[in-house]
Amino acid sequence: MESKERVTAWLQVAMTGIEWIVAASLVVLAALATWGIAVEFFSVGFTPQGLNGYTTIIDGTLLVFVIAELFKIALAYIRHEGVIPTVMEAALVAVARKVVVLDAHAPAQELLMRGGALGLLLLTIGASWYLLTRANPEFGKEIPKPE
């Protein structure tokens, strides 16, 4: 029985290490995405060159927000807190990111298909959030942190 407890303790330590590696990787990804935004911003500059350069900057900025939400999920998981509200927030940010940078110059059929799919995704996530809130009124409320 003692060896089983030792193995379980070792596996728990290994999993905690993996969780921290994933969290650190997300920080590196956020830094790289932020660097990419800065490079793109200075390459576009302040001269009007169409919307494509600015759309790329907005897309990169929203990507950093998605990575930040994923980091919050990783931290909540490490702390053994509920992650479902944070996952729902990340899903909303990720889908909203795609809506914001939707290519309006795409063919009409493709634009309708993508816009419809993203709208359906947003509706589904919103309905899921509503149903979870109805089932558990405490869902999504932030727990006050001790001072």
Chain segment 81-137, per-residue pLDDT in tens = 778 888 888 888 888 888 887 776 778 888 888 889 989 999 998 898 888 888 887
Annotated domain spans of the chain = 2-135
> Using CB atoms within 10 A of its CB, is residue 2 exposed (0-12), middle (13-18) or buried (19+)?
exposed
Separation of alpha carbons 132 and 83, rounded Å: 13
- Residue 80 in this model has a pLDDT that exceeds 60: yes
Residue 76: pLDDT band with limits 50, 70, 90: confident
Residue 140: pLDDT band with limits 50, 70, 90: low
Tell me what percent of the residues of the chain surpass a pLDDT of 90: 14
> What's the angle, vertex CA 22, arms to CA 17 and CA 24, rounded to 5?
95
Separation of alpha carbons 26 and 22, rounded Å: 6
Separation of alpha carbons 74 and 22, rounded Å: 7
B/e letters for 49-86, b = 16+ CB within 10 Å, e = fewer, are: eeeebeebbebbbbbbbbbbbbbbbbbbbeeeeebebb
Residue 15 CA to its chain's centroid (Å): 22
| pTM > 0.85 | no
